[in-house]
């Protein structure tokens, strides 16, 4: 019997997809998939979606995000997922039609309870991997309604909208330009950039 044989069929299928992306399966993938499935329950949506109705914010990247993606149908590449890098295994799911939103995370007690569901696991890691697949939602996860502090429509933006930075000349899409005193800038030129050209770095040194 494989580990996936212990999971409910729907979850097992999702985990197989996630494992194929990473060439392995880990507890955070399971948590991501479970959170994604729970989102469908909370918002009464059929997931994984084939539309772009559900929008998801994940608070860490890596295996967890891919677990959420396979379960929800929200992907960075489809612009239905956004990383808010807080270093937390948690996600906020939003119904873009009516604005309903829930933040979902594992319960702090889930790790301790895992040993009750997988007492024969060969390690703590394996106990988490096995138990998270079979624990009831109410024991594994907790969720509460939230209100976004940003405008989802603005975040999603519109197709085909382009601007050009008046400093670097680079094209800007998704309405991410900054307009100051009638001039248009990209955020790199208008604000603190996440990179620095090597020549400028030498001058600063």
Same domain for 164 and 144: no
Same domain, 29 and 123: yes
**Domain end call among 150, 176, 191:** 150
Whether the pLDDT of residue 41 is over 90: the answer is: yes
**In the chain, what percentage of residues exceed pLDDT 70?**
94
Domain edge (last residue) among 104, 123, 150: 150
C-alpha closest to that of 48 among 21, 84, 4, 78: 78
**pLDDT above 50: residue 77:** yes
Question: Are residues 110 and 169 located together in one domain of the fold?
Answer: no
Residues 19 and 113 in one domain: yes
Q: Which domain holds residue 20?
A: 3-150
Taking only the tens place, the pLDDT of each residue in 121-166 is 999 999 999 999 999 999 999 999 999 999 999 999 988 899 999 9
- In a shared domain, residues 129 and 186: no
Is the predicted pLDDT of residue 3 greater than 60, yes or no?
Answer: no
* 81 sits in which H/E element: strand 81-83
Q: Does residue 143 sit in the same domain as residue 162? A: no
97 and 21 within one domain: yes
| Residue 141 host element (H or E) | strand 141-145
Whether residue 120 is found in the same domain as residue 186: no
CB 59 within 8 A of CB 91: yes
CATH number of the domain bearing residue 54: 3.30.1330.130
DSSP 42-63: HHT--SS-SSS-EEEEESS-TH
Average pLDDT, integer, range 171-191: 96
- 4 pLDDT above the threshold of 60: no
What does the pLDDT average to over 176-188?
96
Computed over every residue of the chain, the mean pLDDT equals 94
**Structure tokens given for 82:** 């956004």
Task: Give the burial class of 58: count Cβ atoms within 10 A of its Cβ; 0-12 exposed, 13-18 middle, 19 or more buried.
Answer: buried
Highest mean pLDDT among 6-15, 69-78, 193-202: 69-78
In this structure, are 56 and 138 located in the same domain? yes
Are residue 164 and residue 146 in the same domain, yes or no? Answer: no
Which of 128, 150, 172 marks a domain boundary? 150
Same domain membership, residue 75 and residue 49: yes
pLDDT for 202: 56
Single pTM value for the model: 0.90
Domain count, the chain: 2
200 shares a domain with 121? no
- % of the chain with per-residue pLDDT over 90: 88
Q: What is the pLDDT of residue 1?
A: 42
Over residues 47-71, the mean pLDDT reads: 97
């Amino acid at each position: 019997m494989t580990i996936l044989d212990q999971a409910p069929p729907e979850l097992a299928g999702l985990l197989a997809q996630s494992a194929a992306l990473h060439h392995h399966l880990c507890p955070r993938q399971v948590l991501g998939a479970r959170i994604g499935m729970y989102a469908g329950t909370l918002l009464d949506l059929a997931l994984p979606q084939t539309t772009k109705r559900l929008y998801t914010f994940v608070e860490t990247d890596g295996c967890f995000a891919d677990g959420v993606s396979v379960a929800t149908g929200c992907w960075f590449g489809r612009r239905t997922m956004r990383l808010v890098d807080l270093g937390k295994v948690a996600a906020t799911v939003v119904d873009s039609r009516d604005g309903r939103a829930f933040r979902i995370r594992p319960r702090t007690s889930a790790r301790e309870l895992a040993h009750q569901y997988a007492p024969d696991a060969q390690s703590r890691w394996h106990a988490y991997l096995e138990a998270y697949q079979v624990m009831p939602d109410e024991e594994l996860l907790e969720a509460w309604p939230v209100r976004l502090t940003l405008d989802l429509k603005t975040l999603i933006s519109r197709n085909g909208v382009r601007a050009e930075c008046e400093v670097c000349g680079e094209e800007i899409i998704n309405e991410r330009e900054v307009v100051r005193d009638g001039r248009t800038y990209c955020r790199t030129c208008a604000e603190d950039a996440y990179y620095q050209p090597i020549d400028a770095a030498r001058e600063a040194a």
